Structure 1
Amino acid sequence: MKKVALVIATAILSVGMLMGQAKKPTLMVVPSDNWCKQNGFMLKFDNQGTVEELPDYKKALQGSSDLILVIAKISQLMADRGFPCKLLEQELKKLSQESAEDAMLTSKSGSGVAESPIDKLYKSAKADIILQITWSVNVTGPKKSVTFVLQGIDAYTGKQIASASGTGAPSFSAELPVLLEEAVLAHIDNFNNQLQNHFDDMFANGREIIVRIKKFDSWPDDFETEFDGKELGQIIEEWFQNNTVKGRFNTTDATANFMLFEQVRIPLYDANGKAMDARSFLRGLQNYLKNPPYNLTSKLMIKGLGQATLVIGEK
């Protein structure tokens, strides 16, 4: 009996150690688009001729002391429950010290990418799960309360994985962090349970990522080019079928020059027990296509844990 108990304990310990090595998504609290719009913290972004309006996080942090207090309070509440958050302000400061990324990716020979440029805004996020917070202060006589909406968004799939909303009880306190905490406390544990369920799903069914396959315009072939009677696009799809968890992925778009795979479920660990992310997963396809009969050179790019792009034709 003792021997059986020892075996079970050892197995549990091994699983715990293995799970501890997994790359857990990082969190970052940001103001919602709605809050930024209502408070005038927006910027114009020229997306290849189409002007888009986007939240200006830097301007918001510089112009609203309340925002800094709110982010700090939500981050503290999450950290107290085992979910540490990256601080938006610190991430923006770090990124401002780095050189700006070119709007159009080029290869070493100077050839442009056949499809779209890298999305600078999403690349700057550097977080896997974005916690969007919206709040407003209600005043009833001498008392105040806070109404809030908190959403957990997968930064690279765009899926909402958790949400909470509510209004705190009226209070004589004038401190926004206190009012916010009073409003959030009744909902935060359920919100965190939703986050944990998302993590548990990844342990059971693999991590979900997005993969884009593109081509340099200098490469004379495309994804309809045949190798041993099969089009390259079909060969790539078969590789995904054989290397995803339970063969789970969705070919959202497939043309002669571009392929988009969403809901791609990848193993949490590789054959050596090392935690896997989008980069290490797609590296397998890159190496596969580098060998005969394909002999294809390609460039691999990543965004955090959850998104990777393979551009075929050069490096």
Structure 2
Amino acid sequence: MKRIVTLLSLALGMIFSSSAQQAAMPTIIVFPDDAWMNENGFMTTINNNGETEYLPRYNDAFVQNSEIGTAIQSVQKVLEERGFQHEDLQNLLKDMKRERAEELANLADGDASEKGAMDELLQQAKPDIRIDLHYTAKEVGPRKNISFRLKAVDAYCNDQISSCEGTVEMTLDPLDLALRKVIAGKMDEFCAQIMNYFQDLHDNGRKITVVFRTAEGSGINFLRDEIKKDGDTYNDFLYDWVKDHAINKSAKKGRQTKNLCEFKNVRIPFFDDHKEPIEPEDWARSVRKDFRKETGIKVAKGQGNTLGRVNFLVGVE
């Protein structure tokens, strides 16, 4: 009898140990995609130094188009049935509107400069996966022809993970029911690809970007200036620091100029030593102290940080 109990205990222990290695379900957030926003008149265009930029107006879309909220909820319900957690975009917009006075105060400090509406929303919600939705619903008498397209994207690094599309013709179902039916039929591979990708993140770390820029008038040259005359440039030091602190030394060089050092696909853990979620800014914070210790040069938090992008300014007064 004791032997049976011991074997059962060992078996249960193996099961729980195996379960602990599995990633929890990712949190998703569903956005109307840029094409839908533009087609329906909810994009503002601005001229930025000769280049056209498109700024989505998500609040206007929910207020002026009654269908988009229904369509997003339909996607959320299907994914909920698959076990995904979600952040609701419409509720998030309402929360941010109530907090706008505080946000405007932050703007005065430069914290939110150079960030678009989506970047601000993602940084507030902190989802793992962003789902972009495009759909059309054309009435044919009492019936509808409905088509949809979904794209799953890593909310931290914008890598595309999965996509699917489908159509339903001449349906009498209301939009929400018709969308749920057609989307549900396309979910097996779509969700499997998301979970495979998320398991990789769980095993090997999130992917973020870390950027260092020289402060105006600092005279710093990342590619030329050396650390204590030992032959390693500032760029070498920063690259080594990022690799040494990344999971499995996983990091790639991006743009490298005398005024800018960019490192992409930097893998960082989900949690710190206390099992608390770790933010990219917190993970990279100690580079400021380490660089100053080696060079005597001050490094400050940069502007325009987003969910998966950390910026630093080197050589500030």
- The TM-score, its normalising length taken from structure 2, stands at 0.82
Query: CA separation in 2, counterparts of 1:264 and 1:217?
Result: 26
Query: CA separation in 2, counterparts of 1:4 and 1:253?
Result: 56
Post-superposition offset of 1:82: 1.9
Query: CA separation in 2, counterparts of 1:131 and 1:221?
Result: 41
Amino acid at match of 1:151: K
Query: CA separation in 2, counterparts of 1:237 and 1:212?
Result: 11
DSSP-derived class of the 2:158 partner: coil
DSSP-derived class of the 1:226 partner: coil
- Aligned pair in 2 of structure 1 residues 41, 211: CA closer, same or farther (>3 Å)? same
Could you tell me which runs of 5 or more consecutive residues in structure 1 were left unpaired when the two chains were aligned: 107-116
Query: Who is 1:93 aligned against?
Result: 94
**Which of 119, 122, 135 is matched with 1:123 structurally?**
119
DSSP-derived class of the 2:294 partner: coil
Query: CA separation in 2, counterparts of 1:19 and 1:287?
Result: 35
Post-superposition offset of 1:16: 4.5
Identity, in percent, stands at 23
Query: CA separation in 1, counterparts of 2:273 and 2:7?
Result: 28
Query: CA separation in 2, counterparts of 1:55 and 1:191?
Result: 26
Query: Who is 1:109 aligned against?
Result: none
Could you tell me which runs of 5 or more consecutive residues in structure 2 were left unpaired when the two chains were aligned: none
Which deviates more, 266-275 or 127-136? 266-275
Equivalence map 1:1-315=2 (5 Å): 3=6, 6-7=9-10, 9-10=12-13, 12-13=15-16, 16=19, 26-47=27-48, 50-96=51-97, 97-98=99-100, 99-100=103-104, 102=107, 105=110, 118-126=114-122, 127-128=126-127, 129-139=129-139, 143-168=143-168, 170-173=170-173, 175-217=174-216, 219-223=218-222, 224-228=224-228, 229=230, 230-290=232-292, 292-300=293-301, 302-304=305-307, 306-314=308-316
DSSP-derived class of the 2:258 partner: coil
Post-superposition offset of 1:215: 2.8
**1:168 and 1:184 in contact (8 A); partners too:** no
Query: After the TM superposition, which segments of 4 or more aligned residues of structure 1 sit over 6 Å from their partners?
Result: none
Post-superposition offset of 1:37: 1.7
Residues 115-163 of structure 1 deviation map (CA, whole Å, 9 limit, x = unaligned): xx53233432224432111111255665434211011122342221111
Query: CA separation in 2, counterparts of 1:16 and 1:296?
Result: 47
Post-superposition offset of 1:7: 4.7
Query: CA separation in 2, counterparts of 1:122 and 1:251?
Result: 26
Query: CA separation in 1, counterparts of 2:219 and 2:108?
Result: 24
Query: CA separation in 2, counterparts of 1:104 and 1:310?
Result: 15
Amino acid at match of 1:124: E
- The TM-score, its normalising length taken from structure 1, stands at 0.82
Post-superposition offset of 1:8: 5.7
- Name the Cα RMSD after superposition: 2.9
DSSP-derived class of the 1:262 partner: strand
- Aligned pair in 2 of structure 1 residues 14, 312: CA closer, same or farther (>3 Å)? farther
**1:279 and 1:308 in contact (8 A); partners too:** yes
Residues 15-43 of structure 1 deviation map (CA, whole Å, 9 limit, x = unaligned): 645867x8x75422111111122211111
- Aligned pair in 2 of structure 1 residues 54, 80: CA closer, same or farther (>3 Å)? same
- Aligned pair in 2 of structure 1 residues 268, 124: CA closer, same or farther (>3 Å)? closer
Q: How many pairs align?
A: 300
Q: Which has a greater percent of helix?
A: 2
